[in-house]
Amino acid sequence: MTLLCLGKEKTVAIYHLHTKPISRSSGRSAVAAAAYRTASRLLDERTGREHDYTRRGGVESIGRCMPHNLDISPADLWSRAELAEKRKDARVAREVEVAIPAELTTKQQRWDLVSEFAGRCAGRYGVGVQFAIHAPHRHGDQRNWHGHILMTTRKISETGELTEKAQMELSDSELRKRGLGAGRDEIERMREGWAILCNQALERAQSKERVDHRSLEAQREEA
């Protein structure tokens, strides 16, 4: 796609970032979500139920990032996330779905981009993060490489315990009490951060394409 910018064509790659909670109120489980996204088998210690998605295809790479250089297995991480919540309608995880620029054509390029973003999320919010890179669906748009970043809703202490709710999970009133910006401002900051990392990756790949996290209206106003 091209946009006219100050009389010159600006080549724009596909941009997408969407975040949503994984909540018990909608019948969802952090353990099940992690198993599905990573095509793995995980046991939910809270319910005793095993979630097995090992036959699922299309997962290119998986990884995890932990604060304090902790080494917590996915099974332990998501079982702890479930056990930390008592409410029937609790948010047990948060997912961030991103589009990976199709111009990043190697497995290493995609890994470097998504793992760096996941590591920054773990560092900024103090949460445990697991991520998966998915290939395009066989019969879909073959440019649709994408990543799923799954985060705990609670911070993780140096001893590996899940403690208070992370910034992304706080209400605007609670954020104001702490002198922090509104939730939508933090999401916009995350969107901008992903765009910056994408553009750095595209530059390293010697691609002329760039992404822009702003709305099309904002981009047109600038042009």
What is the C-alpha separation between 59 and 21, in angstroms, rounded?
22
User: What tokens does 2 get?
Assistant: 């091209």
- Three-class SS state of 40: coil
* Sign of the Cα pseudo-torsion (27, 83, 93, 145, in order): negative
> Do residues 71 and 158 lie in contact, with contact meaning Cβ atoms separated by under 8 Å?
no
The active-site residue, picked from 15, 36, 53, 125, is 36
Q: Cα dist. 101→39, 65, 163, 164 in Å?
A: 23, 22, 35, 35
- Three-class SS state of 198: helix
What is the C-alpha separation between 35 and 170, in angstroms, rounded?
26
Q: At what angle do helices 183-204 and 107-125 cross, to 10 degrees?
A: 150
| 36 tagged catalytic | yes
**DSSP one-letter code for 137:** P
User: What tokens does 95 get?
Assistant: 């997912």
Which positions are annotated as active-site residues? 36
